[in-house]
Amino acid sequence: MKADALPLPTATPLPPLRANLTALATIARREVTRILRIWAQTLVPPAITMTLYFMIFGRLIGSRIGAMGGYSYMQFIVPGLVMMAVIQNAYGNISSSFFGAKFGRHVEELLVSPMPNWVILAGYVAGGVLRGLMVGAIVLAIAWGFTPLHLPHPLVMVATIVLGATIFSLAGFVNAVYAKKFDDIAIVPTFILTPLTYLGGVFYSVKLLPGWAEGATHLNPIFYMVNAFRYSMLGISDVPLWLAFALMLGFTVALALLGLWLLERGVGLRS
């Protein structure tokens, strides 16, 4: 008599929340692996660039400028340079990574998977934020070699870096979605991000500007990030801290909703 065939074992599906968290961790881990694998392109250049800024603007020019806001010029520009490095690298990481996924056409595997859109977006944003945090830590370590630093408000510092990196990671995602060629990735950093950064109070106090220029500077979102970070290190700011965080949270929510809408509609992804 032939024995009955034994049923094949079946895998137990993961609970939805655990499955989503696993997918999120997988995307974030892949992004971090990519950052570390090409560390000579992702971590070394900002370290060299910021060292030159500290040497030229902080030491050589700063010694002639004197004090600003009650601190040496070197101490005054450190918060702005750290935020500049965080913003640029968070933006550049996700814009190049996600556009690379589009160009290589493996983003389609994510779109047809059972992962919800928020997991895809959060995974890529996590990679951009982590790169921003790594670069920020490197620049802070370099700055410590040039001038003594104090951290009177560490929680404000961490919150500002995380929010700033999140905002520009989301902005980089939007850029990558709409980009059709690699040249499109470079347009926004060159013509929008860099001017806004230099005009955002990195190298000067807004109080030194004439009235019309000071008013225009208050329309620059990077200005609020730089001042929130400067408050965390020096205890001074040209704007109220609550206003800076309110705007950063508003930008985070607005860009996150835009990113989710773009994924839901498949803009630039399904054509």
Band of pLDDT at residue 5, cut at 50, 70 and 90: low
Lowest mean pLDDT among 69-78, 125-134, 216-225, 232-241: 69-78
**Poorest-pLDDT segment among 20-29, 34-43, 75-84, 202-211:** 202-211
- DSSP-H helix ranges across 104-190: 107-112, 117-144, 154-178, 182-188
For 105, 177, 260, 261, 262, the CA distances from 265, given in Å and listed in that order, are 17, 11, 9, 6, 5
C-alpha of 91 from chain center: 5
Amino acid at position 142, single letter: I
Sequence-distant (≥ 6) Cβ neighbours of residue 37 within 8 angstroms: none
Output the CA–CA distances (angstroms, integers) from residue 188 to 10, 149, 233, in the order listed: 49, 33, 29
Beta-carbon contacts of residue 132 (< 8 Å; ≥ 6 apart)? 86, 87, 89, 90, 93, 161, 164, 165, 168, 169
More confident residue, 262 or 5: 262
Instruction: Say whether pLDDT at 33 is over 90.
Output: yes
Q: Would you say the C-alpha torsion 229, 234, 239, 243 has a positive or negative sign?
A: positive
> Which residue has 């839901």 as its token pair?
264
Say if residue 63's pLDDT is above 60.
yes
Q: Which pTM does this prediction carry?
A: 0.90
User: Residue 108: its pLDDT value, please?
Assistant: 80
User: Average pLDDT of the chain?
Assistant: 88
Backbone φ, ψ for residue 20 (5° rounding): -65, -40
End-to-end alpha-carbon separation of the chain, Å? Answer: 59
CA distances from 81 to 70, 74, 77, 117 (A): 18, 10, 6, 34
**Helices 154-178 and 241-265: angle between axes, nearest 10 degrees:** 30
Instruction: Count, in order, helices (H) and strands (E) of the chain.
Output: 13, 2
**How many C-alpha atoms does 239 have within 13 Å on its Cβ side?**
25
Under 8 Å between Cβ of 97 and 41? no
* For range 56-84, the mean pLDDT: 87
Cβ–Cβ < 8 Å for 205, 211: no
Name the helix (H) or strand (E) containing 181: none
Residue 1 reports pLDDT greater than 70: no
* CA 249 centroid distance within chain: 14
